[in-house]
Amino acid sequence: MKNEADIVIVGAGAIGSAIARELSRYDLDVILVERNEDIGGYASKCNSATLCSGHDAPLNSLETRLTSASNRAYEEICKKLDVSYKRTGMIYVAHNEEELVRLRAIKKKAILNGEYNAETLSKEKVHELEPSINPDIVGGLLIPNEAIVDVMELLLAFVENAMDNGVTLMLETKVTGINTDPVDHHVVSVSTDKGDIKCKFVINAAAIYADALAKSVGFCDYYNYPRTGQFYVLDKNLPYAPKHIVVPLPTPISRGRLLTPSIEGNLLVGPSADNMTDREDTKTDKETLDSILKDCRKMIPAISPMDSVTQFCGVRPAIYPKTDWRIRAIDGCKGYIEAVGINQGISGAPGVAKYVAEILDDEGLEMIEKKNWISERKAIRRFAKMTEEERDAVIRENPKFGNIICRCETVSEGEIIEAIHKGPGARSVDAIKRRLRAGMGRCQGGFCGPRVVEILARELNVSPEEICKNEKGSEMLARENRK
Amino acid sequence: MSNSEYKYDVAVIGAGPAGLAAALAAKKEGAEKVVLIERDFRPGGILEQCVHTGFGLKYFGEELSGPEYAYRFIKKCEDKRIEMMLNTMALNIDGANRVIHAVNQNGAVQIKAGAIVLSMGCRERTRAQIVIPGSRPAGIYTAGTAQRFCNVQNHIVGREIVIVGSGDIGMIMARRMTLEGAKVKAVVEVMPYLAGLTRNRVQCLDDFGIPLYLSHTVVNIEGKRRVNRVTVAKVDEGRQPIKGTEFDIDCDTVLLSVGLIPENEVSKSAGVELDPVTKGPLVDQNMMTRTPGIFACGNVVHVNDLVDNVSTESEIAGDSAAKFAKGTLKGADNEISVKPGTLVRYMVPRFIEAGGVERETKMYFRVTEPAKNVTIEAKNGEETLYHSRKKFVNPGEIEHIQIAADQLNRLKGGDIVVNVIKDEEAR
């Protein structure tokens, strides 16, 4: 195990991954540490996959500035990193006069937050843009800069690009604390369940576990708690699926229920927003799912649970007391930098990463840009998206692409093998699913599951009983049959 | 273009029991070049993982295992030099020109055919489709997936099992897992009656003392990394859980046997019209879909409970496909709809071409609910085409009627309506 670095980043969610990529520009020795078996943390890999414009964030906040800076940069970033991105825009729908008044306030704030083209929509215009929206609505508001992204591909792209530029990724490594010098309290190392890592700087991007890490250096004036969000995932090609993100007026704690088209053509319906205590409990429940459906049908009445491919629950890293994003160096603990209390981390990640690099510079870290920094990265070529000629060519090059493993999403063995060996390689069934969609389709892995387990075991050179759905403890199989 | 192109008289997609029987029948009817396109490394389809017996009683008059049943057809296909394109996945069909676009390890292949037979079978319904809330740990599988792990890959998926749904595969797996040393703690069925065959209940559950809970459902699944518990509740007549009836069962595995859905993504690409009830193609007495030259048979049309019926039905499809390719398939303009009437959920076939019927036609259906002492009748206007009595009918067991060819060919118009009438209603 590598046990020394200039900088240790704790947490490979959106924020940690983006910081790793940003710092890979410089001649620095960086280690990115993640407790789970795959990158993506808890919240980042499991959400609505939208890129917010920052139009609804608090005025003059770091949150707004970094989100809108990132929003402007994202199209270019996604192009460089070969990540699917689409500026769909977002439509708020108002059901009565009172909501129309609230929409005006949202528009005013949006303009102040940089959404110059925020546009009030008449009822007719709303229906022209989205014919399946409830005929009972009275008007709407268009926020053109809201976008959607292939979120797992984006996270992979950050980490892969960072790794290509020399960053070390350590998966399944739990940081247990930060160690400081007893005299002047500067950071000397981090402790992990796999041993200590000596370092000058540690960046706390541990999201929902940020408070525990902060406590270990004695500077913690907040605590984190989970706020879960349940979703339905609906099938592709539904006649009523909107092209824009469609939202109601926000609630005091969240954006409310969204209808979000996904990059792959599914429709996401949700989320809920429930404060919980167990940070890893992502169960769904009937009452919540029923209420999501009821609320969303107010926006698009045709939505049907019969079209549901799956339901899931993600967890947001909420923080108390709620303040602006805490991205800062701490006086009295030289070398400890935190990037915590961040909601909608994906939307703001590139901005946060640049800002953190500036903080490091301020803190006296020598930042010399690499001459040969690689700014681009290529995604695995997806068989499902190729033309017949491209498929023919790629199979002739590697026959494994001619072996279709996931029939619902048309994923080939060639892609699965690549995903296992590329960058932060997939080690679990879920990791394959998140990278390639194998098992995300209508049969939910019924057909490809046994085959994916076989391929993982073969490529990782372990027995099938060791293959997990995700983390250790989630083994797919009990044992071999009786002899 | 460097893609490989092939030409056949009849191309069959899927070399499971339906495809094998259809290909043989096509060859027998004189189609010279017949090909089976199969995505797996060997023919046989789902039968290859069905190592239990119970196959062939009707078709061969003896009890065979799944692989044995398949082998009889595979051997004949080999003897008749029917081509097998294995490890080949059909991705879509150009329906108007009857060209199948597929891939295998040699590249993209295009198969142009005089007639196409769709025999892709079906897939299992999932947890998401019946919306069981709770966590999403490892240990939740469809029964067929567990069967593949067990019988093909030699691994048992868990030690303490709860099975949701009383479909046949679920009951078969209850027995299989028990024989492998697992403890099957319950089979939970939301309906007040069994979903699968009664013989499977007797042989797979009763004989092993496995409890069956009818009118119950799983309302929650718990477990962070692997399943550790499910909550079961009784349901009311509207299939809604009754508060206060919940009880927990500790287990590490949940198997789902909650129905099968014909797999028609490829059919849709060809523009083949589907029945909203069966989710399979609408077919006529020759098993031809509404797209000329494209035929369908087996579980891709409607989910059967006996493979023997699949073989018989698929022979009609293969025979007709060969005739279509030769241009000898009798056509007729006088189309009669076959409609599900009282207590009948669907009909296969859904159309008859009166004047073009060549053989006695079997019409398959399922009832919408269990009933005792019933009359089964088929009517064309006032005329009764079929009439019989039955002591018991059950949605879990497929029913059929048969009507002679000349009787059908005589029909002038109107619909054929099939009704199942309970005795008390007749009175």
Res. B1 pLDDT band, cuts 50 70 90: very low
Is residue B331's pLDDT more than 90?
A: no
Q: What is the largest CA-CA distance in chain B?
A: 71
Give the best residue of A391, A405, A443 to mutate against chain B (max B CB count within 10 A). Answer: A443
Is residue B427's pLDDT more than 80?
A: no
From residue B399, give the alpha-carbon distance in Å to each of B59, B304, B349, B354.
Answer: 16, 10, 13, 23
Res. B59 pLDDT band, cuts 50 70 90: very high
Q: Please list every residue in chain A whose beta carbon sits closer than 8 Å to the beta carbon of residue B1.
A: 389, 392
**Which whole number is the average pLDDT over A335-341?**
96
**Which whole number is the average pLDDT over B403-422?**
95
Query: How many Cβ pairs within 8 Å bridge chains A and B?
Result: 155
pLDDT value of position A117:
96
The helix or strand, by DSSP H or E, that contains position A245, with its residue range, turns out to be: strand A245-247
User: How many residues are listed for chain A in this entry?
Assistant: 483
Contact yes or no for A263/A255 (Cβ under 8 A): no
pLDDT value of position A46:
86
Instruction: Return the SS3 of B239.
Output: coil
Q: What is the ipTM of this complex?
A: 0.93
Concatenated DSSP letters for B311-328? HHHHHHHHHHHHHHHHT-
**Which whole number is the average pLDDT over A347-356?**
98
Q: Please list every residue in chain B whose beta carbon sits closer than 8 Å to the beta carbon of residue A303.
A: none
Res. A279 pLDDT band, cuts 50 70 90: confident
Res. A162 pLDDT band, cuts 50 70 90: very high
Say whether B332-427 and B126-258 share the same fold: no
Of B87, B131, B136, the CB nearest to A289: B131
Decide yes or no: CATH 3.50.50.60 for domain B1-123+260-329: yes
Q: Please list every residue in chain A whose beta carbon sits closer than 8 Å to the beta carbon of residue B156.
A: 477-481
> Across-strand partners of B142?
B256
pLDDT value of position B338:
97
pLDDT value of position B305:
87
Output the six-digit token pair for A250: 């926000």
Q: Please list every residue in chain B whose beta carbon sits closer than 8 Å to the beta carbon of residue A310.
A: 126, 128
pLDDT value of position A219:
85
Chain A nearest-CA residue for B137: A474
Class (C level, CATH) for B126-258: alpha beta
Is residue B399's pLDDT more than 90?
A: yes
For domain B332-427, the CATH architecture is: Sandwich (2.60)
Res. A482 pLDDT band, cuts 50 70 90: confident
Of A391, A454, A469, the CB nearest to B108: A391
Q: Please list every residue in chain B whose beta carbon sits closer than 8 Å to the beta carbon of residue A399.
A: 105-106
What is the tens place of the pLDDT at every residue in B270-295? 999 999 999 999 999 999 999 999 99
Which domains are seen in chain A, by residue range?
A: 1-86+149-221+321-379 (3.50.50.60), 87-148+225-318 (3.30.9.10), 383-466 (1.10.10)
Neighbouring C-beta atoms of residue A375, cutoff 10 Å: 13
**Which whole number is the average pLDDT over A150-162?**
97
Give the whole-angstrom CA distance, residue B248 versus residue B138.
Answer: 19
**Which whole number is the average pLDDT over A30-57?**
94
Q: Is omega for the bond preceding A271 within 30 degrees of 0, making it cis?
A: yes
Res. B426 pLDDT band, cuts 50 70 90: low
CB A283 to CB B222 under 8 A? yes
Q: Please list every residue in chain A whose beta carbon sits closer than 8 Å to the beta carbon of residue B145.
A: 445-447, 449-450
Give the best residue of B103, B228, B267 to mutate against chain A (max A CB count within 10 A). Answer: B103
Res. B3 pLDDT band, cuts 50 70 90: low
| Domain ranges for chain B | 1-123+260-329, 126-258, 332-427
Q: Which residues contact B227 (CB under 8 A, 6 or more apart)?
A: B137, B138, B139, B140, B158, B221, B251, B252, B253, B254
Is residue B332's pLDDT more than 90?
A: no
- CA A379, A380, A384, A388 torsion-angle sign: positive
Is residue B241's pLDDT more than 50?
A: yes
Q: Please list every residue in chain A whose beta carbon sits closer than 8 Å to the beta carbon of residue B91.
A: 404, 410
B227/chain A closest Cα distance in angstroms: 9
B128 or A136, which is more confident: A136
A208/chain B closest Cα distance in angstroms: 17
Chain A nearest-CA residue for B155: A480
State the virtual CA torsion across A60, A66, A68, A69 in degrees, nearest 10. Answer: 120
From residue B21, give the alpha-carbon distance in Å to each of B64, B301, B384.
Answer: 17, 15, 33
Of A395, A442, A464, the CB nearest to B107: A395
- CA A410, A413, A414, A419 torsion-angle sign: positive
CB B103 to CB A404 under 8 A? yes
Contact yes or no for A138/A153 (Cβ under 8 A): no
Chain B nearest-CA residue for A399: B105
What is the tens place of the pLDDT at every residue in B9-43? 999 999 999 999 999 999 999 999 999 999 999 99
What is the tens place of the pLDDT at every residue in A66-109? 999 999 999 999 999 999 999 999 999 999 999 999 999 999 99
Of A289, A444, A468, the CB nearest to B126: A444
Contact yes or no for B80/B49 (Cβ under 8 A): no
What is the tens place of the pLDDT at every residue in A420-466? 999 999 999 999 999 999 999 889 999 999 999 999 999 999 999 99
**Which whole number is the average pLDDT over B74-86?**
97
Output the six-digit token pair for A71: 């929003």
pLDDT value of position B425:
59
Chain A nearest-CA residue for B151: A481
Of A410, A446, A469, the CB nearest to B138: A469
A169/chain B closest Cα distance in angstroms: 24
CB B153 to CB A286 under 8 A? no
CB A407 to CB B89 under 8 A? yes
Give the whole-angstrom CA distance, residue B396 versus residue A98.
Answer: 54
B65/chain A closest Cα distance in angstroms: 19
Of B2, B89, B123, the CB nearest to A392: B2
pTM: 0.94
pLDDT value of position A254:
74
Strand blocks (E) in A297-452: 308-320, 326-329, 336-340, 404-406, 411-412
Q: Please list every residue in chain A whose beta carbon sits closer than 8 Å to the beta carbon of residue B153.
A: 450, 453-454, 464
- The candidate with the shortest Cα–Cα distance to A315, out of A40, A46, A12, A39, is A46
Contact yes or no for A280/A228 (Cβ under 8 A): no
